Amino acid sequence: MNKTELIDHIAKTADISKAAAGRALESMVGAVKTTLKKGGTVTVVGFGTFSVGKRAARIGRNPRTNEPIKIKAAKVPKFKAGKALKDAVN
């Protein structure tokens, strides 16, 4: 499912316009981004938790030249599925 299909599904199941569903989805994604940027977490009970993890600096290899390169430390977004989502999938 892509973004357009998700907007269509939200509009149909919530009985709202596609424009309103699109704005709602954009608002939710924006709230998650803003919270994660500040280092917080977003928990949607029954769905899951979005958080920020830290990836340590490490040495990698350039696949073309096979020479070692330094890879900087980075913050990465993480998602942990909630129990209800896990149960729905299984």
In this prediction, what percent of the chain has a pLDDT beyond 90?
A: 99
Query: Left (φ > 0), alpha (ψ -120 to 50) or beta: where does 41 sit?
Result: beta
Same domain flag for 89 and 52: yes
C-alpha–C-alpha distance, residues 51 and 78, integer Å = 5
Give the pLDDT mean for 9-28: 96
Count of domains for the chain: 2
Q: Do 33 and 46 sit in the same domain of this protein?
A: no
- Rounded to an integer, the average pLDDT of 36-46 is 95
Same domain, 30 and 54: no
Based on the fold, state whether residues 87 and 55 are members of the same structural domain: yes
In this structure, the answer to whether residues 52 and 11 fall within a common structural domain is: no
Most distant pair of Cα atoms in the chain: their distance: 57
